[in-house]
Structure 1
């Protein structure tokens, strides 16, 4: 069954045997695929009767394809003849779709089958490798492909930067016949997730145990992104980061959009150059962004306006495109999220006899910070505003000194961290990536230093219970997970994204379940 917006979800199957392909097809059906692409060029078979048996035994509607490497279309005649025989057989068996390379479809030898096909739809594909075509070049290519008599067109592109997808979205919107666009690689992921918004005919999803870079899994399409809700009016939000694969934002924001009835989708965006990204994606369709490592500071310069707190910190983690004039406005929800989480944990220990805390529990405390990036800056300014004495360690000592100067704190060389003489009752906050998956066995400080800490905070939230927090808890310190910061900053972002209230209980429950 196609989605109610007529979008199809297809799982490509590359298997060595027909048995494996049929088994994978059943799994794809279980995980929610509408159809499969049988990539018969991957199959080992000695006679076409094996292919015929496979096609007849299929349990899902299918696309039959036999890809030829562009450089070998003319040179390898045996391979080409096998391709032509397989595709003709698929036409004869009235398979739902046959896909062929544009170069093959253009040849006279296939014209008869293309012209005389009965129920089979023809997909003509082109693999745009090694070059970065403009919208005009793609438009010309599409016109040539359409002249073959295709029912559906397909573009496959290797992309090095996420900005190279902009002309693809333009083609999806304006193409006169159904178009499939697939960008290969981790930076191409949004070519699938945003396909239905821009008019894509079909998106690809991989089997859960066969992840493909740049391709969402079937389960994520059905359970997280739910593309049946996406249409031309859907607002696009996403995380701008590098790397981006660790993000839990999609599993939080997408269900929250649906829970509140807001027409939005939140997607991971692996961005290398944040300035180029914002120069490229200027449409009001791209309505808001979370900003992650390493772009939080550089993103300040991309905003037309910056909230005073974010300006003083020198880092933004949230950017919203104001609907009235299209200007980009930057905010920082990290600061309040992290500091309030720390304060609340300390408050549980230090309620006054009247039941009211008279000052911030951070006031007068020594606040030791590891990391001087965007998250570190938010923590440093927040701690300073609560009256703490801030000491900063960072691998780049110059960055540590610059941040220390901004908050009237102290910077120490990162190499001296092991020799640091801790102050009893101090607060330790890790705002570096040390301990993040897949390097979850790493820890930024020794257990001896942790013994002097009243509280340890770790901005890392994958894994939820980092080695730093485990060892801090073992020596009796209060621990605050980055998950708590993640929840609080996400609530602030959601309010900014939607201009309304965030469903706090719903979002908190969702995050704790996911982690």
Structure 2
């Protein structure tokens, strides 16, 4: 329906004066309208306060007086509640939100009295799940039949694939629809409104001060996701992972897309089941993906074609939807980024001289972890002539990978006493030490003196406990940001067909 989705700031405060302050702030943040949540007011005199709010709002107003039974705060008399909404309408509110359960009664009571410029939003909230497309469609028809000007359906994401059903409703509806899916798995429903025809989305003024689970800030919508540039023909890219909220990829790619005017948006997909994800988001509108822990191996099984290097590694971290036939192509750019960063660390340069061979040749290269990233580093180190040793919590998985790459295997507990020689190289590819568990480390400090270089694929925090202790033990350290940047160059080029803006990448990550 609508190609320009509005941003609405929910305004929740104890007093009317605080609300006015927040409304002014909403405008400064870039909101298009404000939702006045009357049910949050501790002191409220409707006859005096409603006109005061309307007269002092710098933006169009949407009045909501949400009862407890629909997830709000109001517990009083229903008749009085609806009287207040009628008052707001009469005094010049731009939108009124009423719940489906009382919509027929409310709309019948205002027949012939509704001002021309006031729109009635009839809303339904499901805090448990997201119904089937058929049930959502029937619900939209039921809401429309009340005489609503705008249909609002808010559901809850149990899985990221639930959002696709809501996109179907907003994209195919002939009337304005606000379709939102709550929770972290539903975040994309709030970002991609303009692509799939949503009437408005909610963005908060401050992080954490939300009126429903999973709301982003207005700042993130505008600055991180370039919300005003998203159109029906915008290509969607994203990072598939679990967890995924820590990722810097949306920041990196969206700023880079914007800098060259590339019509794409990059979003986080919190994915539980990779196969379900790809089967659901099969259209070429979803054009490319970065893939992170723990899905790199499972994602390979979903590809129609896999690059030979990725096949050897047994994991993909970059997936592209081929535009002409929609086939899913898998690549691995992890090992390039990581191995280059480690070589650069050893030589103290950004330019390894290919003719003189790799500084990894002949060195013992210990990889912690036998997942997708572990496989990538083991493969890359072996290609460079290193002697590879895999250390993993479960020895069988370490042995399995060691057999594939022609290396040796030890259990993680053996790593502490493993030092056949000094000047070894250590690469952690597990999530040990990643935010929020920043006090964890895979190797005790005293064992780090046998390594000349220690690399950690974790990049939140930038300096993990492992790296801090390795530096104290005298090793060169290389953080996961270097691997992240290296693999991101190639992914960007595959996503866009354009050369990666390398200086911009470093600048963005340096600032954040």
TM-score, normalised via structure 1 length: 0.93
Q: CA deviation at 1:72?
A: 10
Question: Aligned residue for 2:66?
Answer: 67
Q: CA deviation at 1:420?
A: 2.8
Change (3 A) 1:349 1:336: closer
> In structure 2, which of residues 369, 372, 376 is the aligned counterpart of residue 374 of structure 1?
372
Change (3 A) 1:117 1:395: same
Question: Aligned residue for 1:329?
Answer: 329
Between 1:182-191 and 1:438-447, the stretch displaced more is 438-447
Q: CA deviation at 1:404?
A: 1.3
State the secondary structure of the residue aligned to 2:77: helix
Question: Aligned residue for 2:285?
Answer: 285
Q: CA deviation at 1:454?
A: 0.9
Q: Which runs of 5+ in 1 are unaligned?
A: none
> In structure 2, which of residues 27, 30, 48 is the aligned counterpart of residue 29 of structure 1?
27
Q: CA deviation at 1:346?
A: 1.4
Q: How does 1:73-88 map to 2 (within 5 A)?
A: 78-88=76-86
Question: Aligned residue for 1:463?
Answer: 461
State the secondary structure of the residue aligned to 2:178: strand
Question: Aligned residue for 2:253?
Answer: 253
| CA displacement 1:190-239 (0-9 Å, x = unmatched) | 00111110111111112233254422211111111121111111000000
Write the distance in 1 (CA, Å) between the matches of 2:435 and 2:317.
21
Is residue 2:179 matched to residue 1:181?
Answer: yes
Is residue 2:55 matched to residue 1:56?
Answer: yes
| CA displacement 1:54-85 (0-9 Å, x = unmatched) | 34333332210112344799xx9943123212
Q: Which runs of 5+ in 2 are unaligned?
A: none
Retained in 2: the 8 A contact 1:384–1:407? yes
Write the distance in 1 (CA, Å) between the matches of 2:504 and 2:130.
43
Question: Aligned residue for 2:265?
Answer: 265
Question: Aligned residue for 1:342?
Answer: 342
> In structure 2, which of residues 141, 147, 150 is the aligned counterpart of residue 149 of structure 1?
147
State the secondary structure of the residue aligned to 1:23: helix
Q: CA deviation at 1:386?
A: 1.0
Question: Aligned residue for 2:506?
Answer: 508
Q: CA deviation at 1:114?
A: 5.2
Q: CA deviation at 1:35?
A: 1.5
> In structure 1, which of residues 193, 204, 207 is the aligned counterpart of residue 205 of structure 2?
207
Question: Aligned residue for 1:300?
Answer: 300
Q: How many matched pairs?
A: 506
Change (3 A) 1:114 1:453: farther
Q: How does 1:466-505 map to 2 (within 5 A)?
A: 466-505=464-503
Retained in 2: the 8 A contact 1:240–1:292? yes
Question: Aligned residue for 1:445?
Answer: 443
Change (3 A) 1:375 1:50: farther
State the secondary structure of the residue aligned to 1:12: strand
> In structure 2, which of residues 187, 192, 195 is the aligned counterpart of residue 194 of structure 1?
192
| CA displacement 1:5-24 (0-9 Å, x = unmatched) | 53211111233332333333
Q: CA deviation at 1:357?
A: 5.2
State the secondary structure of the residue aligned to 2:500: coil
Retained in 2: the 8 A contact 1:360–1:386? yes
Q: CA deviation at 1:242?
A: 0.7
- Structural RMSD (CA): 2.2
Write the distance in 1 (CA, Å) between the matches of 2:49 and 2:107.
19
